[in-house]
Every structure is written in C-alpha cells, then in structure tokens.
Amino acid sequence: MSTPVIEVEHLTVSYRRRRHTLTAVRDLSFRVDRGEILAIVGESGSGETTTAHALLGLLPSNATIDGGRIVVTVVEYKGEGVRIGVQAPASVRIDRQEVFERIQEVR
C-alpha cells in the first residue's frame, strides 16, 4: 500500500458562536492516494467547506480542530495539482493574498 497524499483520521471541527459551540465536522476519516480524485459533496451546511479549509490551514479564527489528525504529504505535481471548487464563490471570505501566501509556503 502506498503512502497517501492526504490522510484524514477522525477529524472533528467546531465553531465558537457567542455562548455555544457548533460542531461542523464530526469524526471524518478518508485518504487520497496519488492519482486519485476526491470530491466532497453534501447538503449545504454539512461541513464540506470546513473540511477543505481545515486541510489547507485556512480555518477562521473562531474555528478549532477538536480532534483527529490531518496528514498532507507534499508531492511534486506536474499537472493541475490541487483544486477546490465551491458552490457559491461569492460567499467565501478568504483573502486571495492569504491563499497565495499559503501556496508559497508549501513550495
């Protein structure tokens, strides 16, 4: 068995909201091997974007990873690389410069 490019084990992510905590992702596990494609889909509010943000280290300040483990193995891509598509791009509040800086850190 090869080393996975992405491995997520028992990931749990929550958001602090005023006086309570909302768990957005609970006990999620998956792996992506080299050459595989993974699509994370679900109903609105089921944690797809939160999962992607956790993988990229782009969770907002009110979010915490409460459990689990994320391992991303850095590999050299000669093709398209990693892409993230969102349902409603206008609703995503990530500064493009911040994303660019994160990508540069990996290089």
Q: What is the pLDDT of residue 29?
A: 97
pLDDT in tens, 27-42: 999 999 887 888 887 7
DSSP per-residue codes, 28-49: EEEEE-TT-------STTSSHH
At 9, the pLDDT band (50, 70, 90 cuts) reads very high
Dihedrals phi, psi of 12, to nearest 5 degrees: -130, 125
Residue pLDDT, tens place only, 63-73: 999 999 998 88
What token pair was written down for 61? 């300040």
* Cβ neighbourhood burial of 4 (10 Å; 0-12, 13-18, 19+): middle
Query: Where is pLDDT greater, at 80 or 71?
Result: 71
> pTM above 0.85?
no
What are the residue ranges of helices labelled H in 1-107?
A: 48-56, 96-106
